[in-house]
Amino acid sequence: MEDSLRMFLALGDAVIITDEQHRIIAVNHSYERITGYAQHEIAGKKAGIVRTPFTPRLSYDQMKEAIQDGKAWSGVFTNRKKNGQLWHSSITITPFVKEESTYFVGVFRELERLERGFYLDEERIEGIQGSLLRVLAVSCEIRDPGIEEHLLRVQKLTERLVIRHNELAGLKLSERKQAQIAHSSILHDIGKSAVPEGILYKPGPLASYERKIVEMHTQIGVDILDKVNVELDDTLFEHEFATAKNIILHHHERWDGSGYPYGLSGSQIPLEARIVSVVDVFDALTSKRPYKEKWSTDGALQYLKDKSGSQFDPAIVDSFLSLYEDDSLVENELQHHQMTVTSN
């Protein structure tokens, strides 16, 4: 091993040096202390000796892609010590080329030894966020026993639509952003919890003042979310709540500017609100309610077409229609949805 690489072994963090085939050449004392493996026990073995299935595969894929391109990579690994205990570490792996040979220097910082906090991987964070938003949404609309099914259908269709629209429109939304939109869609109507039942489920047309009360649910919903956010005071939900507020406040805006609460038009309306607007109206039309009969699927799809460019973003309507026409899974889901509504 090159002498210029040995200096890394003097670092206080755990250090591992491997060759081009990822065989271990040297580790420092911190690595030995943390893992329980002495250098003579693991020298010549693959660096994956401490690997566990608890590190997301995406992390390994991103690491391999980076180092194959000759770039440094940083991330978080969940590894296993010699005694079987798990340890979480922030790691930076840097490739070095010396005399036509490539070496990799990995520097680990054990997260368990940080003075504060703990580590949650992305999958667990996403699960916690999704669960809390679902509980919040259902809790706010507990008066209607059928509302949970509606919320879950909206969430599932939003997930499919945002993926399809991202592909067709070439938006290049990250997977994280797509997940945030899907998770947050379940909160779109939490403000209706403050609307009197006599108005919310009125079988006939609403009076003008009753319509104004219903329209207030967008701002009430944001107020509810703000109160929850203040109580949590946690950055774990920062981006989810920002996305949810856009959906709650603006999912009744219309593409031509005739919606509420602010009369936004076109691209002024946040993307996530435009997406949920299409899904919410479709599910509302195809669901039986105390004040209305359900529409047929074809009738609801035709309504979306008729309102494309006035009520809805035309590109999003096109994406929704293509999702329905091309994806047999979605078609089966919609048929099942109709059967469920009919049975109720």
Q: Is 183 exposed, middle or buried (0-12, 13-18, 19+ CB in 10 A)?
A: buried
Beta bridge partners of 102: 97
Give the residue carrying structure tokens 């109580």.
231
**Kindly report the CA angle at 340 between 335 and 343, in degrees rounded to 5?**
125
Residue 270 has φ and ψ, to the nearest 5°, of -55, 145
Exposure string for 270-309, b = 16+ CB within 10 A, e = fewer: bbbbbbbbbbbbbbbbbbebeeeebbebeebbebbeebbe
Q: What is the CA radius of gyration of the chain?
A: 26
**Which residue is catalytic, options 156, 192, 245, 294?**
192
Helical residues (DSSP H) of 174-270, grouped into ranges: 175-185, 197-200, 208-215, 217-232, 238-250
- d(CA 83, CA 61) in angstroms, rounded, equals 27
Residue closest to 169 by CA, chosen among 320, 322, 316, 327: 316
Beta bridge partners of 101: 98
Q: How many CB atoms lie within 10 A of CB 192?
A: 21
SS3 96: strand
- d(CA 229, CA 158) in angstroms, rounded, equals 23
Half-sphere exposure for 88 (CA within 13 Å, toward CB): 13
Please, are residues 310 and 256 in contact by the beta-carbon 8 Å criterion?
yes
64 counts as catalytic: no
- In eight-state DSSP terms, residue 292 is B
> What residues are labeled active site?
192
